[in-house]
Amino acid sequence: MRTLVFDGRTGAAGDMICAALIAAGADPDALAPVSDALPVRYAVGEVEKNGIRATTVDVLVDDRTVETDGDHDHGHDHSHGHDHGPDNDPSTSGSDEPAEGAGVHRSYREVVDLVESMGLPPAVESTALDAFELLGRAEASVHGTDLDETHFHEVGADDAIADVVGAALLLADLGPERVVTTPVAAGGGTVEMSHGTYPVPAPATTEIASRAGFRIAGGPIDRELLTPTGAAILGAVADGFDAVPDLAVERAGYGAGDADFERHPNVLRALVGDGREPGPDGDREKRDDDRARAGQPVDGRLAHDDIAVLETNLDDAAPEVLGGLQETLSRAGARDVTIVPTTMKKSRPGHLVKVICKPADAEAVAERLARETGTLGVRQSGASHRWIADRAFETATLRVDGEDHEVDVKVASTTDGEVYDVSGEYDDAAAVAEATGLPIREVLRRVEAEVREQLPREQGGR
């Protein structure tokens, strides 16, 4: 399996990730869609860090060098260990003067609209939006706002968008089947922000790390080494491993931050090669245990997902309030909302509201639940994780009376790719049924059969 490994032992930032991907073999020309959509261009260069030759990537706006997220925690004013400056930037000569956060500062919704307007390939757009959702939810959690109301500052500027979308484009060009990262160094010490002095990692980075599938580690120096944008990109694309996995290395590349450290090269290493899977011989349980300890999913099983379960009983909630909980709680971070009719004290009819969310979102979801319903208490039950399927969506086309109708179909599989359920989306099927006169169940039967026909036999296809 072609595998990309980020070795994060000296931290990560958006510009470093882009540079590491280019150094590992991605084509810089893949960045063209960003330059077409925004008033920016990329400058790719080289620098030496503690004896290691590394690649640099700088975003230029209006003939000025823009410091990328290595110098910004979005929404806050403080410097980082990866800050760009004129000392090591090959593109700062002439009229290219350093600048910070150039371009418009946008809200989360404005960033999403901008990314969706770029005409990116679906996989690239999905990666970029996943990273910005991590950033947005982290910022919303830190400041106690709803996701759509969250405003980015530096991370909403053109240069930071160029980092996130650029990383997604370069990753797609490199084309790994799997992306992993070792624990990422967060650094140490403190950072000055508009709200005061905070310990490293900064609040936004901490929130992102709580949602990501990789670990962070303190040190090795007292500087901020992991930026929110770097954490969000890795969180959107990479699974965490305790160490570099078994890999037949084909290429290694280094992406540089600008700061120089006395004993630690300020670079992010990217390794590309064939990730060896355990052979068929040997004890399966031992192989599964080894994979679980390494952070890998176990073949043929569902994926482990840490969750919190919140509950409250309501005996006086209006139907309109209950009907709106799915939307309002989802905006606060809920993954699933269930409302169950029940009988309460004195035989009064009531409702049990159960909410599944990520542990880091539990407090915000509980507060929103209380505000929306007026409940005097929200309890957290003992569940700590759930087992979930890998999910993907396929689009099936149903032709009726010479007209094509599209229906999204959800495909559920185990971690080794074996499909065990194919389900058409009800709302799509209902719309097609309304337009064609077919029963909804007939629409669902046809589109599900179409998707099953397209699946390879080893994945459950026919």
DSSP per position, 290-330? HHHHTTPPPTTSPEEEE-EEEEEEESS--HHHHHHHHHHHH
Domains for the chain: give ranges and CATH numbers.
2-63+98-275 (no CATH), 303-387 (3.30.70.1380), 389-454 (3.10.20.300)
Q: How many CB atoms are located within 10 Å of the residue 265 CB? A: 18
CA 121 to chain CA mean position, Å: 17
**At 9, phi and psi to the nearest 5?**
-75, -10
Return the SS3 of 87: coil
Q: Which residues pair with 397 in a beta bridge?
A: 406
pTM here?
0.58
What single letter denotes the amino acid at residue 187?
A: G
Cβ atoms of 88 and 260 closer than 8 Å: yes
| Tokens (6 digits) for 268 | 């992010």
Tens of pLDDT along the chain (462 residues) come to: 899 999 999 899 999 999 999 999 999 999 999 999 988 889 999 999 999 999 999 988 755 444 445 443 333 333 334 443 333 343 343 335 433 445 567 788 888 899 999 999 999 999 999 999 888 888 888 777 777 666 665 454 677 899 999 999 999 999 999 999 999 999 999 877 666 788 889 888 988 888 887 889 998 999 999 999 999 999 999 988 888 988 999 999 999 998 899 888 999 999 999 986 533 333 344 445 444 444 445 555 666 677 889 999 988 788 888 999 999 999 888 999 999 999 887 788 999 999 999 888 888 898 889 888 888 888 887 665 566 667 788 999 999 999 999 999 998 887 777 888 889 999 999 999 999 999 999 999 999 999 998 887 655 555
